[in-house]
Amino acid sequence: MAKPKKQYKKYAILLWILPAMGVLLWLSNSWHDSTDTIIVSKNKLTIEGQYGIVLGYDEIKKLKLTDSLPKTLKRYNGYAEGDVRKGRFSTGFNKRVNLVLNSNAKPYLYIETKKNRSIYFSETTERNKDLYNQIISALEVYSPNYIYFED
């Protein structure tokens, strides 16, 4: 008689674990598919999301719009499915870059920090251009020593 009780417990546990795993997978996918954005505020630039970054304007060395990403990208911590790529990736030259690409909309917003951290961001073509102009304006006001780069 002991066997049916043990089997009942196993099935009861499975009935709780399987739906819980399904909910976790659904939450994980919806979290990655959410659109991350950049907030340009008075003294900092905030890239929202799981792989987000907060930068002071004085940390930005280079800012530009670019139509290309590094040629070889290997994901080492992050998420990549279709046009959505978020997280930390390495290039063919073992340089690590942060990608927050909600889409493949070009031009990408490229930010390089004074510590040589490279960040690529994309939301929509119009939004990328708008964010670029907002950040340039903020740099002119809050980081007057910023040197404008145009490649």
Domain ranges for the chain: 1-33, 35-142
Give the DSSP letter string of 127-143.
Answer: HHHHHHHHHHHHHHHH-
The pLDDT tens digits for 40-63 are: 998 899 988 888 889 999 899 899
Q: Which fold has domain 35-142?
A: PH-domain like (2.30.29)
The pLDDT tens digits for 106-148 are: 999 999 998 989 999 998 899 999 999 999 989 888 777 766 6
Average pLDDT estimate for 60-67: 92
Q: Is the pLDDT of residue 151 over 60?
A: no
Residues in the chain: 151
State residue 95's pLDDT score. Answer: 84
Tokens of 134: 């907002």
